[in-house]
Amino acid sequence: MGFNDADDAAVVRLDDGKLLLQTVDFFTPIVDDPYLFGQIAAANSLSDIYAMGGKPLFALNIAAFPINDLPKEMLTEILQGGADKAREAGIPIVGGHSIDDREPKYGLVVTGEVEEDQLVTNTKARPGDVLILTKPLGTGIIATAIKRGIASEESINAAVKTMVTLNDWAAKLMVKYGAHSATDITGFGLLGHLSEMCRASGVSAEVDFNKLQFITGAHKLAEEGIIPGGTKRNLDYVSEFTDFSENLTDTQRLMGADAQTSGGLLIALGQNKADDFISEYNSNSKLKAFSIGRVINQNDRLLYIRHI
Ligand code: CO
Ligand code: CO
Protein backbone atom coordinates (compact mmCIF):
# COMPACT_ATOMS: atom_id res chain seq x y z
CA MET A 1 0.00 0.00 0.00
CA GLY A 2 3.03 2.30 0.29
CA PHE A 3 4.23 4.22 3.32
CA ASN A 4 2.37 7.52 2.95
CA ASP A 5 -0.76 6.98 4.97
CA ALA A 6 0.52 5.30 8.12
CA ASP A 7 -1.79 2.32 7.71
CA ASP A 8 -1.92 -0.48 10.26
CA ALA A 9 -0.30 -3.34 8.36
CA ALA A 10 1.76 -3.89 5.22
CA VAL A 11 -0.37 -5.11 2.30
CA VAL A 12 1.07 -7.31 -0.43
CA ARG A 13 -0.94 -8.41 -3.45
CA LEU A 14 -0.97 -12.15 -4.17
CA ASP A 15 -1.69 -13.79 -7.51
CA ASP A 16 -5.23 -14.95 -6.78
CA GLY A 17 -6.68 -11.52 -5.95
CA LYS A 18 -6.14 -11.97 -2.24
CA LEU A 19 -4.08 -9.52 -0.23
CA LEU A 20 -1.48 -10.63 2.29
CA LEU A 21 -1.27 -8.56 5.50
CA GLN A 22 1.87 -8.40 7.64
CA THR A 23 2.47 -6.64 10.94
CA VAL A 24 4.80 -6.75 13.94
CA ASP A 25 4.53 -5.24 17.41
CA PHE A 26 6.20 -5.86 20.77
CA PHE A 27 6.71 -3.98 24.03
CA THR A 28 7.73 -4.13 27.70
CA PRO A 29 5.34 -5.44 30.40
CA ILE A 30 2.50 -3.12 31.35
CA VAL A 31 0.93 -5.36 34.01
CA ASP A 32 2.63 -7.41 36.74
CA ASP A 33 1.13 -10.78 35.79
CA PRO A 34 3.30 -12.40 33.07
CA TYR A 35 0.45 -14.56 31.71
CA LEU A 36 -1.82 -11.51 31.28
CA PHE A 37 1.04 -9.53 29.75
CA GLY A 38 1.43 -12.28 27.14
CA GLN A 39 -2.27 -12.13 26.33
CA ILE A 40 -2.27 -8.33 26.05
CA ALA A 41 0.82 -8.24 23.82
CA ALA A 42 -0.67 -10.87 21.51
CA ALA A 43 -4.09 -9.18 21.31
CA ASN A 44 -2.30 -5.91 20.53
CA SER A 45 -0.22 -7.48 17.76
CA LEU A 46 -3.25 -9.14 16.16
CA SER A 47 -5.15 -5.87 16.22
CA ASP A 48 -3.43 -4.34 13.18
CA ILE A 49 -4.70 -7.23 11.02
CA TYR A 50 -8.26 -6.73 12.31
CA ALA A 51 -8.00 -2.96 11.80
CA MET A 52 -7.72 -3.61 8.06
CA GLY A 53 -10.71 -5.94 7.93
CA GLY A 54 -8.40 -8.96 7.69
CA LYS A 55 -8.21 -12.45 9.16
CA PRO A 56 -4.99 -13.58 10.86
CA LEU A 57 -3.42 -16.78 9.48
CA PHE A 58 -0.43 -17.51 11.73
CA ALA A 59 2.09 -15.74 13.95
CA LEU A 60 5.67 -15.83 15.23
CA ASN A 61 6.82 -14.93 18.75
CA ILE A 62 9.36 -12.18 19.42
CA ALA A 63 10.64 -12.27 22.99
CA ALA A 64 13.40 -10.67 25.02
CA PHE A 65 14.08 -11.89 28.57
CA PRO A 66 16.78 -11.52 31.27
CA ILE A 67 17.58 -15.25 31.42
CA ASN A 68 19.96 -14.94 34.40
CA ASP A 69 17.96 -12.45 36.48
CA LEU A 70 14.37 -13.63 36.39
CA PRO A 71 12.85 -17.11 36.83
CA LYS A 72 12.48 -18.88 33.51
CA GLU A 73 8.88 -19.85 34.40
CA MET A 74 7.98 -16.19 33.87
CA LEU A 75 8.97 -16.39 30.22
CA THR A 76 6.98 -19.62 29.91
CA GLU A 77 3.91 -17.85 31.30
CA ILE A 78 4.30 -14.89 28.93
CA LEU A 79 4.51 -17.27 25.96
CA GLN A 80 1.53 -19.26 27.30
CA GLY A 81 -0.54 -16.07 27.44
CA GLY A 82 0.39 -15.32 23.84
CA ALA A 83 -0.37 -18.88 22.72
CA ASP A 84 -3.78 -18.89 24.41
CA LYS A 85 -4.71 -15.56 22.82
CA ALA A 86 -3.59 -16.81 19.40
CA ARG A 87 -5.74 -19.91 19.88
CA GLU A 88 -8.71 -17.69 20.72
CA ALA A 89 -8.00 -15.87 17.44
CA GLY A 90 -8.01 -19.26 15.68
CA ILE A 91 -4.36 -19.21 14.61
CA PRO A 92 -1.19 -21.13 15.49
CA ILE A 93 2.10 -19.60 16.61
CA VAL A 94 4.49 -21.46 14.34
CA GLY A 95 7.87 -20.28 15.59
CA GLY A 96 9.72 -17.24 16.77
CA HIS A 97 12.89 -15.85 18.22
CA SER A 98 14.04 -14.86 21.71
CA ILE A 99 17.12 -13.07 23.01
CA ASP A 100 18.71 -12.39 26.39
CA ASP A 101 17.95 -8.78 27.33
CA ARG A 102 17.82 -6.66 30.51
CA GLU A 103 14.10 -5.90 30.25
CA PRO A 104 11.43 -8.40 29.16
CA LYS A 105 9.70 -7.65 25.88
CA TYR A 106 7.11 -9.64 23.99
CA GLY A 107 4.93 -9.49 20.92
CA LEU A 108 4.04 -11.20 17.67
CA VAL A 109 4.73 -11.01 13.99
CA VAL A 110 1.32 -11.68 12.48
CA THR A 111 0.51 -12.71 8.92
CA GLY A 112 -3.07 -12.32 7.75
CA GLU A 113 -5.16 -12.11 4.62
CA VAL A 114 -8.08 -10.14 3.27
CA GLU A 115 -10.15 -10.17 0.08
CA GLU A 116 -9.38 -7.04 -1.89
CA ASP A 117 -12.98 -5.78 -1.73
CA GLN A 118 -13.03 -6.23 2.05
CA LEU A 119 -9.82 -4.32 2.77
CA VAL A 120 -10.47 -1.41 5.14
CA THR A 121 -7.80 1.32 5.24
CA ASN A 122 -7.53 4.64 7.05
CA THR A 123 -7.80 6.58 3.76
CA LYS A 124 -11.50 6.54 2.90
CA ALA A 125 -13.45 8.27 5.67
CA ARG A 126 -16.19 10.45 4.13
CA PRO A 127 -17.90 13.60 5.35
CA GLY A 128 -21.09 12.56 7.16
CA ASP A 129 -19.66 9.26 8.43
CA VAL A 130 -20.26 8.44 12.08
CA LEU A 131 -17.10 7.70 14.09
CA ILE A 132 -17.40 4.65 16.31
CA LEU A 133 -15.01 3.37 18.95
CA THR A 134 -15.18 -0.24 20.17
CA LYS A 135 -13.29 -0.01 23.49
CA PRO A 136 -13.15 2.55 26.29
CA LEU A 137 -10.02 4.74 26.62
CA GLY A 138 -7.54 5.28 29.45
CA THR A 139 -5.24 2.23 29.39
CA GLY A 140 -2.13 4.47 29.29
CA ILE A 141 -3.17 6.33 32.41
CA ILE A 142 -4.07 3.09 34.25
CA ALA A 143 -0.80 1.40 33.16
CA THR A 144 1.17 4.35 34.57
CA ALA A 145 -0.76 4.06 37.82
CA ILE A 146 0.02 0.32 37.92
CA LYS A 147 3.76 1.08 37.54
CA ARG A 148 3.52 3.51 40.46
CA GLY A 149 1.59 0.99 42.56
CA ILE A 150 -1.45 3.23 42.99
CA ALA A 151 -4.03 1.70 40.63
CA SER A 152 -7.16 0.28 42.28
CA GLU A 153 -8.04 -3.37 41.78
CA GLU A 154 -11.17 -2.25 39.94
CA SER A 155 -9.19 -0.09 37.48
CA ILE A 156 -6.58 -2.80 36.88
CA ASN A 157 -9.24 -5.42 36.17
CA ALA A 158 -11.16 -3.11 33.83
CA ALA A 159 -7.98 -2.13 31.93
CA VAL A 160 -6.86 -5.76 31.60
CA LYS A 161 -10.32 -6.79 30.36
CA THR A 162 -10.11 -4.07 27.72
CA MET A 163 -6.57 -4.91 26.60
CA VAL A 164 -7.00 -8.71 26.34
CA THR A 165 -10.14 -8.35 24.22
CA LEU A 166 -9.53 -9.21 20.56
CA ASN A 167 -10.76 -6.81 17.88
CA ASP A 168 -11.95 -9.79 15.80
CA TRP A 169 -15.68 -9.20 16.33
CA ALA A 170 -15.28 -5.49 15.56
CA ALA A 171 -13.41 -6.37 12.35
CA LYS A 172 -15.99 -8.90 11.23
CA LEU A 173 -18.88 -6.50 11.77
CA MET A 174 -17.23 -3.48 10.20
CA VAL A 175 -16.69 -5.50 7.02
CA LYS A 176 -20.31 -6.70 7.15
CA TYR A 177 -21.57 -3.11 7.52
CA GLY A 178 -19.25 -1.78 4.82
CA ALA A 179 -17.10 0.54 6.95
CA HIS A 180 -15.45 3.24 4.86
CA SER A 181 -12.33 3.49 6.99
CA ALA A 182 -10.80 2.14 10.19
CA THR A 183 -7.70 1.99 12.34
CA ASP A 184 -6.88 0.67 15.80
CA ILE A 185 -6.15 2.97 18.73
CA THR A 186 -2.67 2.37 20.10
CA GLY A 187 0.35 4.53 20.98
CA PHE A 188 -0.76 7.79 19.32
CA GLY A 189 -4.02 7.78 21.24
CA LEU A 190 -7.51 8.48 19.92
CA LEU A 191 -6.68 11.97 18.68
CA GLY A 192 -3.38 10.94 17.07
CA HIS A 193 -4.87 7.99 15.18
CA LEU A 194 -8.00 9.94 14.23
CA SER A 195 -5.84 12.74 12.86
CA GLU A 196 -3.94 10.22 10.72
CA MET A 197 -7.22 8.92 9.34
CA CYS A 198 -8.39 12.47 8.60
CA ARG A 199 -5.14 13.44 6.90
CA ALA A 200 -5.07 10.26 4.80
CA SER A 201 -8.75 10.66 3.84
CA GLY A 202 -8.63 14.40 3.15
CA VAL A 203 -11.33 15.20 5.73
CA SER A 204 -11.70 16.69 9.20
CA ALA A 205 -13.52 15.27 12.23
CA GLU A 206 -15.69 16.54 15.04
CA VAL A 207 -15.52 14.66 18.35
CA ASP A 208 -17.99 15.18 21.17
CA PHE A 209 -15.90 14.79 24.32
CA ASN A 210 -19.02 13.94 26.36
CA LYS A 211 -19.44 10.76 24.35
CA LEU A 212 -15.96 9.39 25.08
CA GLN A 213 -15.97 6.50 27.52
CA PHE A 214 -13.07 5.96 29.89
CA ILE A 215 -12.02 3.02 32.05
CA THR A 216 -13.08 3.30 35.70
CA GLY A 217 -10.67 5.47 37.64
CA ALA A 218 -8.88 6.97 34.64
CA HIS A 219 -10.38 10.44 35.10
CA LYS A 220 -9.46 10.64 38.79
CA LEU A 221 -5.90 9.41 38.16
CA ALA A 222 -5.45 11.88 35.30
CA GLU A 223 -6.59 14.70 37.57
CA GLU A 224 -3.93 13.59 40.06
CA GLY A 225 -1.34 14.01 37.30
CA ILE A 226 -0.86 10.31 36.51
CA ILE A 227 -0.15 10.82 32.81
CA PRO A 228 2.26 8.77 30.65
CA GLY A 229 5.01 10.67 28.81
CA GLY A 230 3.66 9.35 25.50
CA THR A 231 0.25 10.87 26.23
CA LYS A 232 1.80 14.30 26.84
CA ARG A 233 3.76 14.02 23.60
CA ASN A 234 0.58 12.98 21.76
CA LEU A 235 -1.26 16.07 23.01
CA ASP A 236 1.65 18.36 22.04
CA TYR A 237 1.58 16.84 18.59
CA VAL A 238 -2.18 17.02 17.93
CA SER A 239 -2.53 20.50 19.43
CA GLU A 240 -0.96 21.91 16.26
CA PHE A 241 -4.01 20.95 14.19
CA THR A 242 -6.77 20.48 16.77
CA ASP A 243 -9.39 22.97 17.87
CA PHE A 244 -10.38 22.23 21.48
CA SER A 245 -13.49 23.81 22.98
CA GLU A 246 -12.30 26.39 25.49
CA ASN A 247 -14.21 24.69 28.29
CA LEU A 248 -12.14 21.50 27.97
CA THR A 249 -9.68 21.26 30.85
CA ASP A 250 -6.03 20.32 30.36
CA THR A 251 -6.79 16.98 31.99
CA GLN A 252 -9.61 16.27 29.54
CA ARG A 253 -7.39 17.13 26.57
CA LEU A 254 -4.74 14.74 27.88
CA MET A 255 -7.34 12.00 28.34
CA GLY A 256 -8.38 12.31 24.70
CA ALA A 257 -4.74 11.94 23.67
CA ASP A 258 -3.96 9.05 26.06
CA ALA A 259 -1.55 6.52 24.52
CA GLN A 260 -3.38 3.17 24.36
CA THR A 261 -2.22 -0.41 24.43
CA SER A 262 -4.42 -2.89 22.55
CA GLY A 263 -7.14 -0.27 22.13
CA GLY A 264 -10.34 -0.62 20.16
CA LEU A 265 -11.08 -0.05 16.50
CA LEU A 266 -11.96 3.46 15.38
CA ILE A 267 -14.44 3.02 12.54
CA ALA A 268 -15.90 5.52 10.06
CA LEU A 269 -19.29 4.17 9.03
CA GLY A 270 -22.10 5.56 6.86
CA GLN A 271 -24.63 7.38 9.03
CA ASN A 272 -27.49 4.99 8.21
CA LYS A 273 -25.48 1.95 9.38
CA ALA A 274 -24.09 3.26 12.67
CA ASP A 275 -26.97 2.38 14.99
CA ASP A 276 -27.29 -1.16 13.61
CA PHE A 277 -23.54 -1.71 13.91
CA ILE A 278 -23.50 -0.57 17.52
CA SER A 279 -26.50 -2.65 18.58
CA GLU A 280 -25.26 -5.81 16.86
CA TYR A 281 -21.74 -5.29 18.24
CA ASN A 282 -23.02 -4.73 21.77
CA SER A 283 -25.33 -7.75 21.65
CA ASN A 284 -22.31 -10.06 21.56
CA SER A 285 -19.48 -8.24 23.34
CA LYS A 286 -18.41 -7.62 26.94
CA LEU A 287 -17.09 -4.22 25.84
CA LYS A 288 -19.56 -1.72 24.42
CA ALA A 289 -19.04 0.22 21.20
CA PHE A 290 -20.16 3.86 21.12
CA SER A 291 -20.23 6.75 18.67
CA ILE A 292 -17.87 9.62 19.39
CA GLY A 293 -18.58 12.12 16.63
CA ARG A 294 -18.53 12.46 12.89
CA VAL A 295 -16.43 13.09 9.83
CA ILE A 296 -16.83 16.56 8.26
CA ASN A 297 -15.49 18.30 5.18
CA GLN A 298 -11.82 19.25 5.32
CA ASN A 299 -11.53 22.45 7.33
CA ASP A 300 -8.86 24.77 8.83
CA ARG A 301 -8.12 22.17 11.50
CA LEU A 302 -8.06 18.38 11.24
CA LEU A 303 -9.85 17.85 14.56
CA TYR A 304 -12.56 19.77 16.42
CA ILE A 305 -13.10 18.54 19.97
CA ARG A 306 -16.40 19.79 21.34
CA HIS A 307 -17.62 19.79 24.92
CA ILE A 308 -21.20 20.86 25.46
CO1 CO B 1 -2.45 0.05 14.21
CO1 CO C 1 0.94 -1.56 15.34
**pLDDT digits 0-9 by tens, 263-300:** 999 999 999 999 999 999 999 999 999 999 999 999 99
Ligand 2 centroid to residue 288 C-alpha, Å: 22
46, 89 in Cβ contact below 8 A? yes
pLDDT tens digits for 192-249? 999 999 999 999 999 999 999 999 999 999 999 999 999 999 999 999 999 999 999 9
Ligand 1 centroid to residue 74 C-alpha, Å: 28
User: Helix 229-239 to helix 139-147 angle, to the nearest 10 degrees?
Assistant: 150
E strand residue ranges, 116-180: 130-133
Picking from 238, 274, 272, 270, the residue whose alpha carbon sits closest to that of residue 253 is: 238
Ligand nearest to the CA of 6: 1
pLDDT at 1: 61
Residues 6+ apart with CB under 8 A from 299: 204
Average pLDDT estimate for 75-83: 98
pLDDT at 12: 87
Ligand 2 centroid to residue 246 C-alpha, Å: 33
CA 271 to chain centre: 23
Q: How far is CA 206 from CA 6, 130, 136, 243, 293, in A?
A: 21, 10, 18, 9, 6
Helix (H, G, I), strand (E, B) or coil at 243: strand
206, 294 in Cβ contact below 8 A? yes
Collect residues with CB below 5 Å from ion ligand 1. 8, 48, 184
Average pLDDT estimate for 81-96: 97
Residue type for 39, please?
Answer: Q
